[in-house]
Amino acid sequence: MANHKQALKRHRQSLKRRARNQHFKTIMKNTVKKAVAAKEAGDEAEKTAAIRTAESVIRHVASKGVIPKKRASRKISRLARHILST
């Protein structure tokens, strides 16, 4: 454990950021799971709503800097291709 004032502050900040990032990643993963579950259920209206929600959440997480923007685009693209395929 660090003893200098600056190092202690950096450690506190990193713990806060880690908790925040984990929170956003969990939300993102859960919405993707709901979208995939909606595909399995077969309801078209629910499926389109779920993919729209998942895309929104993924873009939001990317805007916060939790994941890179290109990774978000790739995730959205792959999710849409997976869900909209027959």
- The one-character DSSP state at 49 is H
The domain total for the chain is: 1
Is the pTM higher than 0.85? The answer reads yes
Consecutive H or E run containing 19: helix 5-41
- Residue numbers of the domain that contains 54: 35-86
Q: Distance between CA 66 and CA 57 in Å, rounded?
A: 12
**CA geometry: angle 31, 32, 36, nearest 5 deg:** 115
pLDDT at 84: 85
Asked whether residue 18 is assigned to any structural domain, the reply reads no
* pLDDT tens digits in sequence order for the chain, 86 residues long: 778 999 999 999 999 999 999 999 999 999 999 999 999 888 888 999 999 999 999 999 999 999 999 999 999 999 999 998 86
User: What pLDDT is recorded for position 3?
Assistant: 86
Domain contains 9:
no
Tell me, yes or no, whether 16 lies in a domain: no
pLDDT score recorded for residue 49: 93
- Label residues 20-53 b or e (16+ Cβ within 10 Å = b): eeeebeeebeebbebbbebbeeeeeeebeebbee
